[in-house]
Structure 1
Amino acid sequence: MKLEVGGVTEGHPVPEKFAFGVFNPDNHMSFGPNRNPELSWDGVPEGTKSFVVMMFDPDVPSVADDVNQEGKTIPADLPRVDFFHWLLVDVPATTRLIPEGEDSDGVSPKGKPVGPGPVGVRGINNYTQFLAGNPDMAGTYAGYDGPCPPWNDEIIHHYHFEVHALDVESLNLTGEFDGNAVREAMAGHVLASARVTGTYTLNPALR
């Protein structure tokens, strides 16, 4: 199976139009256009009954105490964890394209709704947890919300866009299901997968 992500070249920076946060020289970060990129795929195996779409960052600090704190940096050797930015399940087997901006077009304070979206069924992304302590932004974030790595991180972050072809029509996930729930539910049902990886940083020393 082959995946193409419009505007994202393997191993190169993700364009700012797809980012939740963009570099701002005055206060480190401003909200970005936060559009989902176009995804298109082919080479789908026989027997495919649905797709899962996900995007995640495996480079997120496991301890958030120093994230975006003046006078501090997040060391490169700090253990890292996955941060899910996009989860769609039960994407119909006939689908081969998700248009740019279809699942997200702009930052939505307090998040987008879970459940059926423009394409498939939305799971919650990790902005739900990350923004929980911010009274202006706290909410349930479903569907796509793009890159916004800590501006004081010593490493460039990687963003894995993935499409998985499954042998089931539905993963039977409802409510506020997360990336780990998706991975668990699709285990043993994946016929083929494809991935494109882009990079992103808000650290001026790394840009």
Structure 2
Amino acid sequence: MSLERPVSPDPYTLLPEVASFDVTSTDVSDGQPLKDDQVNAGGDTSPQLSWSGAPEGTQSYVVTCFDPDAPTVSGFWHWTAVDIPADVTSLDAGAGAGDDSLPGDAFHVRNDGGAKNFMGAAPPEGDQVHRYYFVVHAVGEPTLGVDADASPAVVGFNLAFKTLGRAIVHGTYQH
């Protein structure tokens, strides 16, 4: 069986347009390969992220990592951290280890690997280069209104109606 297929579009260009703001990382350089510890076989360590310039009215954040290049029709969610307080503007490397690594009442929902944490890059061996979109979503409410049993798709659905802005940085990886 061959995994040859077209490159998926940038998924965020397919959503309604919202304000953009800035996200930087000491661990992810936009469009460049991820570090070894951000790979599933190398440690599953979520990258450091800092953001600024969120839209006025931001009351919380959601941070996600999505791979649109997974050989599925739905891509692959590697990380979803919900209800990060509005006064938080950075996450340290490793914040995706579990709920106790997140600030305030923030929590994780299950990634597509089934765990409530950050799952590092794990594309099939020999597959095309995969893109990993790390996105900080500015939310116009103090809570997204989901619980820890929600799927990343349900989080995304709620974000469609409550997102004021997005900040995006993406890394790549090929096995």
Equivalent of 2:116 in 142, 153, 177? 142
Distance 1:117 1:178, change over 3 A: farther
Runs of 4+ in 1 over 6 A off after TM superposition: none
Cα shift readout 1:138-176 (whole Å, capped 9, x = no counterpart): xxx0121110111132x1100000001011111121132
Cα shift readout 1:20-48 (whole Å, capped 9, x = no counterpart): 12xxxxxxxxxx12211101000111111
- Corresponding residue pairs, total: 153
* 1:49 corresponds to 2:59: yes
Amino acid aligned to 1:4: T
User: Any conservation in 2 of the 1:116–1:122 contact (CA below 8 Å)?
Assistant: no
Q: Secondary structure at the match of 1:17?
A: helix
Q: Secondary structure at the match of 1:103?
A: helix
Which structure 2 residues correspond to residues 99-178 of structure 1 after superposition, within 5 A?
Answer: 99-104=92-97, 118-119=102-103, 120-128=106-114, 141-153=115-127, 155-178=128-151
Identity %: 32
Q: Secondary structure at the match of 1:143?
A: coil
Q: CA RMSD in A?
A: 1.5
Q: Which runs of 5+ in 2 are unaligned?
A: 1-20
Partner of 2:69: 59
Give the structure with higher Rg (CA): 1
User: Any conservation in 1 of the 2:67–2:131 contact (CA below 8 Å)?
Assistant: yes
Amino acid aligned to 2:160: A
Hey, which of these two has a bigger chunk of helix by percent?
Answer: 2
User: Any conservation in 1 of the 2:43–2:120 contact (CA below 8 Å)?
Assistant: no
Equivalent of 1:192 in 152, 165, 168? 165
Q: TM-score, normalised by structure 2?
A: 0.82
Cα shift readout 1:84-129 (whole Å, capped 9, x = no counterpart): 000011110000010012322xxxxxxx5xx67523111110011x
Q: TM-score, normalised by structure 1?
A: 0.70
Equivalent of 2:76 in 69, 77, 83? 83
The CA distance in 2 between the partners of 1:102 and 1:179, in whole Å, is 18
Amino acid aligned to 1:126: D
Q: Which runs of 5+ in 1 are unaligned?
A: 22-31, 63-79, 105-111, 129-140, 203-207
User: Any conservation in 2 of the 1:59–1:81 contact (CA below 8 Å)?
Assistant: no
Partner of 1:24: none
Distance 1:123 1:51, change over 3 A: same
Amino acid aligned to 1:197: H
Partner of 1:181: 154
